[in-house]
Structure 1
């Protein structure tokens, strides 16, 4: 994807099938982290409190990802597995055919914030 300087431009530049899903993810992260500032770091949209990125998201050609603290992924590994989502140490990937739930987004965001001591 081309470099962008804000969340709106990032979502608009994402592959068309992912735009609505990314907009929903952004809204859910905003609700879960109401005092976080929207930032662009490493060409990826994120939510920052003080100087710490709590959560970020990205779109790729075939999937999207939500990136949080490794402790948040570990704490919710069972739920991630039940939803048949793929997880790495710091992220969960999902697609239009197997989206991430709003409930899991909120849990991961709140957990990530807690793991970072904010």
Structure 2
């Protein structure tokens, strides 16, 4: 994907099949982090508080990703696996056919904020 200046442009440039998933994530992140600022860094849209990125998301050719503080992912590793998803040290990849459940996204984002100390 090309470098973009904001979330709207990023989502519009993503593969069409991923756009609803990205819009859903943006909505959840914005609701759970109402005091966060939307930003784009490293060509990935995200939400930061006081200069610290709490959560970001991305679309790739075959999947999407949600990126969080490492402590949030390790804290919820069992929940992530129970949802049939795979996590790395910094994120979770998923497809539109197997999205991250909304409630899990909410818990992960709150844990990421806590892990970031903001």
The answer to whether TM tops 0.5 is: yes
Question: SS at 1:61's partner residue?
Answer: coil
Match of 2:56 in 1: 56
Consecutive unaligned residues in structure 1, runs of 5 or more: none
Question: SS at 2:47's partner residue?
Answer: strand
Partners in 1 of 2:101 and 2:31 — Cα distance? 14
Partners in 2 of 1:64 and 1:31 — Cα distance? 20
Partners in 2 of 1:67 and 1:2 — Cα distance? 19
Partners in 2 of 1:4 and 1:112 — Cα distance? 24
In the TM superposition, what are the counterparts of 1:1-118 in structure 2 within 5 Å? 1-118=1-118
Runs of 4 or more, structure 1, over 4 Å off, are: none
Partners in 1 of 2:101 and 2:22 — Cα distance? 12
Partners in 1 of 2:78 and 2:41 — Cα distance? 29
Question: SS at 1:80's partner residue?
Answer: helix
Partners in 2 of 1:116 and 1:48 — Cα distance? 10
For residues 20-62 of structure 1, the C-alpha deviation after alignment (integer angstroms, 9 at most, x for no partner) is: 1100100000011110000000110010000100000000011
